[in-house]
Amino acid sequence: MFTVIEAENELISNRQLETATFGMGCFWGPEARFGSLPAVIRTRTGYAGGTTENPTYRTMADHTETVEIDFDPAISSFQEILLHFWRNHYPNRDQYKGQQSVSSLRYHNEQQKRTIELVKAEMEKELGEMIETEITPLAHFTLAEERHQKYYIKRYPKILEQLQSLYPTEQSMRNSTFAARLNGFVKGFVTRDQIVTEIQCWPVAEIARRQLIEHFLNLKW
């Protein structure tokens, strides 16, 4: 019998993943939104962009609430991720209260920077106005406290209790593709049928796919 963690390890084997780091206001919703995308393998919330050490939710100082994703560019390119980013929030400062919630992109390399510049110009034409997203190289990313990881799942104690039998540590749940999809499902970004259809196409052993779908459909809410 496969464990969920074993199936997910098989899911990411031989994939060349890319990381994207961005802010779209409060990080709970964006983590769920991007966690619903088939290209996204892992999601995590945290703090980036500032200079102060050891930021926390209560002492964020000059950092911004940030979501970091690992995704498969063979399924969705970085350009497609950026379009999803800009089309799902208003990127100008009059919508946000302070540095904590600004629209931000923290690029990981020069190729990402060039792609951001190209897509930004495209989106400015689409929106008909200049984009004020804060764009800087990623200097450091600090994980948010565990209560902010997969936040919408954690609003359902009964579901969380069932998932604890699948994930022996907080880190294993935080890094889980299955948990990312559940977080998106709870928030309404992906349907039950879409999750089942996606899992049926995952490049893992058939028995693992069946067990994952069974776990999903048997969850008691």
Residue in 5, 17, 26, 83 annotated catalytic: 26
Strands of 54-168 (E only): list them. Answer: 64-71, 103-107, 134-137, 141-143
Report how far residue 191's alpha carbon sits from residue 24's, in angstroms, rounded to the nearest whole number. 23
What are the residues whose beta carbons fall under 8 Å from the beta carbon of 53, sequence distance 6 or more? none
Q: Describe the strand order of the beta sheet including 64-71 as a list of residue ranges.
A: 134-137, 103-107, 18-24, 64-71, 40-48, 141-143
Mark whether 26 is an active-site residue: yes
Tokens of 103: 């629209």
Tokens of 38: 């088939």
Give the residue numbers annotated as catalytic, written as ranges. Answer: 26
